[in-house]
Amino acid sequence: MEGVDLTSVTCPWCQEKLRLDPLNVLTLNTSEEVKAKLLAGEYDNFPCPTCGRDIPYSNPILCHDILNHILIYYFPNPPPEDMRETIQSVLRRIIRKASLQGIPSPPDDDWKVRIAFGRDELKAAFTGQMDEE
């Protein structure tokens, strides 16, 4: 795709090199099914097109919960503890920039933005048991 920087991933099983879109976007609207799959970890891995085995998805998944106005950057396979603060500050800057460019996002309206490292934090992000960003 033009204008999209792809990231390289090597399959840990067959060593095949793959090119991936660095950001996966998941829209949760009327379908509870997608959310249930997400919370069950079904998007945490993806099948290798060559050998068919699961590869852990290390890029963030941007979850757009349309009904509840929650935007979550979900890291299914979280980076090490010492890298998380840097990632959080970069994401906050991106969010602020998007809002300055008129892309609907907090603090423009009642959308909440959350960053979730791992599935426990993802569950907390949906239920609101988390610090607001």
Cβ proximity to Zn ion: between 50 and 68 the closer is 50
Q: DSSP per residue over 55-105, as a string? A: EE--S-EEEEETTTTEEEEEESSPPPHHHHHHHHHHHHHHHHHHHHTT-S-
Query: In the bound complex, what is the minimum distance in angstroms from residue 45's beta carbon to Zn ion?
Result: 12
13 binds Zn ion (CB under 5 A): yes
CB atoms within 10 A of CB 53: 12
Out of 9, 11, 28, 115, name the contact with Zn ion by CB under 5 A. 11
Out of 6, 14, 23, 25, name the contact with Zn ion by CB under 5 A. 14
Contact residues: Zn ion, CB under 5 A: 11, 13-14, 16, 48, 50-51
